[in-house]
Structure 1
Amino acid sequence: MVSTAEPVLEARGLVKHYPLTRGIVLRKQIGAVKAVDGVDFSLGRGETLGIVGESGCGKSTVARLLCHLERPTEGEIRFRGEDITGASGRRLKEVRRNIQMVFQDPYTSLNPRMTVGDIVGEPYEIHPEAAPKGERRRKVQELLEVVGLDPEFLNRYPHQFSGGQRQRIGIARALALRPEVIVADEPVSALDVSVQAQVINLLDRLQAEFGLSYVFIAHDLSIVRHISDRVAVMYLGRIVETGTDAEIYEHPTHPYTQALLSAVPVPDPEARAHRDRIILSGDVPSPTAIPSGCRFRTRCWKAEERCAREVPELAVPEEFRAVGGPVAHPSACLFAAERQVVPGAMEDHGGHGNGPG
């Protein structure tokens, strides 16, 4: 479900640098880890924005910034059109009620000393106006039932559940305050493939039932395509290509996106034999020493001298503007060109709700 109304959540020029210091008594900054270095996106009501990229590209940092678990170095975050970047006190409490997070590890994100009932009901302790004390037990049982767990499990502890069940508990906790936005930071990466499909289908169903908007972060491109309406590809702290799922998966124009797609496992032996395999040279540069110009140029087979001088803008390449169609979507590359990596292999025949596998 995609909404064309005013975005419910926006990031504008989002930057997060972690200072590197030297010295004990007299601390001196000698550099910075540029985890997020200028990210822009918007999220519509009822929409799912998938953010993909290699480990260390800044995806999880973006998630923490959106939930105000960390403060950005620069830029702004807007919720319903209002700048909430510097929100504090009562206003921050309101913001956090409307933007909840599902964490990557379904075990460490749950307090092992608390029962499931206490974990899922804790948001009501922080926001007592959301549920009167006499109704909290019933509301917790309803939430457990909504995510597919037995309501009588509320007196059990996290260690008594499987990984998939623990993630359902985390989702129930995120739903407790009826938020508008859920930021899911690799919510299925620690789960078995069969359990991944169950959790993804659950998120799909909850989105339709509660009108949720998702920022879904992952490194598995097949899962991201299944659940996302739009996709943003990140590399070294910046978004390098963005578009609808069909635009990104069937008409990629950025070399990095093409390399990621070529690494996706293909179950069809015939399609696998005809895949356009792209092997990147070198390692991802350190976020403390970002290359000049295009930050992907040190690993790109298309790189030329101008790539070291010019910073490519995330925009629809000029040569595609007149053509239109799915190839005309924003791509931060000076030599953007369409390339179908695996013909037909990434097409989504089932639509949302059939599971990624």
Structure 2
Amino acid sequence: MSDYVLETKDLVKHFPLTTGILFKKQIGAVQAVDGINLQLRRGETLGIVGESGCGKSTLARLLVGLETPTSGAITVRGKDISRLRGGEMRRYRRNIQLVMQDPYTSLNPRMTVGDIIGEPFDIHPEVVPKRDRRRKVQELLELVGSNPDHINRYPHQFSGGQRQRIGIARALALQPEIIVCDEPVSALDVSIQAQVVNLLKRLQNELGLSYIFIAHDLSVVRHIADRVGVMYLGKIAEIGTEDEIYERTTHPYTQALLSAVPVPDPKLRGLRDQIVLEGDVPSPADPPSGCRFRTRCWKAQDICAVESPALTVRPGSDHPSACHFAEVRDVVHAVE
């Protein structure tokens, strides 16, 4: 049996671009996710980072079954779930849940906290008998550090951090093995972000959870992730352990991201080798040929426009990188 609880194999999601009203004709496609290969071990946190529009949220929706892949496979415990439908998909979703980005829009304002957290039991009545649901909801509230006596309150009566705890409690209701966190702290104040990240780490240790943690804040990801994958225009540019990515990064895009992190220590600012990327991010509907980062890369050569670099371990490196000219470069940054 595989050591991985979740794997993706050449995962692709293209959204068609059409013209016409009655007789629609496809004229192209937005290549949101284009050949992603990932593995997640039990009890591990895999961080996914990248700029807005790189395909992170689409990847999250694919993993939880809210989108159907264009091609490729998603395997959970050795079973391909990418084409499941109906009852089979419903059973699969018990095992993988989603914590959404915005706690202000992810909770139904017309439902009480008890109804929101207990709603998964209506879909999966076999999990908890009806007579025990109120007690179970209160236990979930207590588990995430909320007051179980607030079960009859509405979302507008809670702060952003408290709402996100409710969202986490809802994700835990069906006792999943995997939780996909789609930028769960980006809408929160910094102090509250730390509380939510610490809560997620505690729950992982207590319940043996595996996380896909999606974010654009590199410092947050470093505090929670065991491994980190860097996405650019629908592809994985580099992937490795936390130390490999933050201390021995080899891909030019990752190096640029790290160099952009603010340095609070004035003594280190003069040592900063800041990398300023030129140009705009290309459209995922018309990505560059070859390496997708080449139009903004200072290392780009002729081969970069012709041949798409494979995600592989390059000479002098200890982790995979999708760059023909990958090399370790010291970057002074503030991600500690």
Q: Could you say which residue in structure 2 is the equivalent of 1:335?
A: 325
Match of residue 41, structure 2, among 20, 37, 44 = 44
- Unaligned 5+ residue runs, structure 1? 321-326, 348-357
Which letter does structure 2 place at the counterpart of 1:104? Q
CA–CA separation in structure 2 for the residues paired with 1:153 and 1:224: 31
The answer on whether the counterparts of 2:250 and 2:328 sit within 8 Å (CA) in structure 1 is yes
CA–CA separation in structure 2 for the residues paired with 1:93 and 1:266: 46
The answer on whether the counterparts of 1:147 and 1:171 sit within 8 Å (CA) in structure 2 is yes
- C-alpha displacement at 1:107, in angstroms? 1.3
Deviations 1:247-290, CA, capped at 9 Å, x for gaps: 00000100000000001122222122211100000000000111
- Unaligned 5+ residue runs, structure 2? none
- C-alpha displacement at 1:5, in angstroms? 6.3
CA–CA separation in structure 1 for the residues paired with 2:179 and 2:58: 15
CA–CA separation in structure 1 for the residues paired with 2:5 and 2:273: 38
Q: Could you say which residue in structure 2 is the equivalent of 1:82?
A: 79
- C-alpha displacement at 1:68, in angstroms? 0.3
What secondary structure is seen at the aligned counterpart in 1 of 2:186?
Answer: coil
- C-alpha displacement at 1:346, in angstroms? 3.3
Output aligned runs, 1:118-197, within 5 Å: 118-197=115-194
CA–CA separation in structure 1 for the residues paired with 2:238 and 2:193: 26
Q: Could you say which residue in structure 2 is the equivalent of 1:257?
A: 254
What secondary structure is seen at the aligned counterpart in 2 of 1:128?
Answer: coil
Q: Percent identity?
A: 71
The answer on whether the counterparts of 2:272 and 2:332 sit within 8 Å (CA) in structure 1 is yes
Match of residue 232, structure 2, among 230, 235, 256 = 235
What secondary structure is seen at the aligned counterpart in 2 of 1:253?
Answer: coil
Q: Could you say which residue in structure 1 is the equivalent of 2:219?
A: 222
Question: How many equivalent residue pairs?
Answer: 336
Match of residue 205, structure 1, among 202, 205, 211 = 202
CA–CA separation in structure 1 for the residues paired with 2:110 and 2:2: 43
The answer on whether the counterparts of 2:2 and 2:78 sit within 8 Å (CA) in structure 1 is no
CA–CA separation in structure 1 for the residues paired with 2:9 and 2:104: 33
CA–CA separation in structure 2 for the residues paired with 1:346 and 1:155: 41
Which letter does structure 1 place at the counterpart of 2:142? E
Are residues 1:92 and 2:89 paired? yes
Moved over 4 A (4+): none
Question: Normalized against structure 1, the TM-score is what?
Answer: 0.93
CA–CA separation in structure 2 for the residues paired with 1:263 and 1:5: 38
The answer on whether the counterparts of 1:5 and 1:44 sit within 8 Å (CA) in structure 2 is no
- C-alpha displacement at 1:110, in angstroms? 0.5
The answer on whether the counterparts of 2:11 and 2:74 sit within 8 Å (CA) in structure 1 is yes
- C-alpha displacement at 1:340, in angstroms? 1.2
Deviations 1:277-309, CA, capped at 9 Å, x for gaps: 000000000001110010000000001111101
Which letter does structure 2 place at the counterpart of 1:122? E
CA–CA separation in structure 2 for the residues paired with 1:104 and 1:291: 30
Question: Normalized against structure 2, the TM-score is what?
Answer: 0.98
- C-alpha displacement at 1:164, in angstroms? 0.3
Output aligned runs, 1:292-311, within 5 Å: 292-311=289-308
Q: Could you say which residue in structure 2 is the equivalent of 1:323?
A: none
CA–CA separation in structure 2 for the residues paired with 1:225 and 1:168: 21
Q: Could you say which residue in structure 1 is the equivalent of 2:263?
A: 266
The answer on whether the counterparts of 2:218 and 2:335 sit within 8 Å (CA) in structure 1 is no
CA–CA separation in structure 2 for the residues paired with 1:35 and 1:261: 24
What secondary structure is seen at the aligned counterpart in 2 of 1:70?
Answer: coil
What secondary structure is seen at the aligned counterpart in 2 of 1:8?
Answer: strand
Q: Could you say which residue in structure 1 is the equivalent of 2:283?
A: 286
Q: Could you say which residue in structure 2 is the equivalent of 1:19?
A: 16
The answer on whether the counterparts of 1:250 and 1:346 sit within 8 Å (CA) in structure 2 is no
CA–CA separation in structure 2 for the residues paired with 1:275 and 1:212: 37
